[in-house]
Amino acid sequence: MKRALSVCAIVLLTLLGLAAPATAGGDPEPAVGGEERAVAAGGPCGSTYRHIGHYAIGSPVKAYMDVYWSSTTKRNCLVTNHTGATYGVLLYTQATIKPSGSGYSWPSCPSSVGCDGEMYRYYAGPVYTPAGVDMSNKCVDIKGYIMDIGRTLTNIHCG
């Protein structure tokens, strides 16, 4: 039910032109919509999270990995969003996040705190860094997949 409401909200915001996140880091993309888009983008992970990174998957782009940070919870969050021709198409989609460093392994999928990977039409996630791990002075590693196209970024958004 929660996911259905989130999907409805994203579809509505997309139709209104507000769902695409503003560029806050990551790969460059022209900003359209200014602050309204940034406010709308804060929603997938919770009200205390702000958008800090936007990374393309594929060429041409099939999806984006959007990274969020909460100074309240001291955690990062990741959502992998379909875009363009993949938007609304049922495809394997995955979002995976973990703290950088040798003491942390990639979380298991299909469903854990740090990994969500299944057949989705719009997005995978949100997924979070582990509870109890203060990410304030740590870097984050992320992985995103859509179909068989993936992207991994390590040691980004360091506290």
Secondary structure of 83-130 in HEC code, one letter for each residue: CHHHCCCCEEEEEEEEECCCCCCCCCCCECCCEEEEEECCEEEEEECC
| pLDDT, position 37 | 42
The rounded distance, in Å, linking the Cα atoms of 69 and 76 is 5
Confidence of residue 43 (pLDDT cuts 50, 70, 90): confident
| pLDDT, position 34 | 37
Percent of the chain with pLDDT over 70: 73
For residue 118, is pLDDT > 90?
Answer: yes
Residue among 80, 22, 27 nearest 51 (CA): 22
- Show Cβ contacts of residue 44 under 8 Å, excluding neighbours closer than 6 positions: 6, 66, 68, 77, 79, 123, 125, 126
**16-25, 34-43, 113-122, 140-149: which has the minimum mean pLDDT?**
16-25
Region 140-151: what's the mean pLDDT?
Answer: 96
Bridge partners of 82, per DSSP, are 63
Residue among 112, 113, 67, 64 nearest 86 (CA): 64
- Sequence ranges of the domains in the chain: 2-156
| pLDDT, position 3 | 44
Interstrand relation of 91-99 and 140-146 (parallel, antiparallel or unpaired): antiparallel
60-96 residue pLDDT tens: 999 999 999 999 999 999 999 999 999 999 999 999 9
DSSP state of 32: -
Confidence of residue 1 (pLDDT cuts 50, 70, 90): very low
User: Is 140 in contact with 76 (CB distance < 8 Å)?
Assistant: yes
Bridge partners of 69, per DSSP, are 50, 76
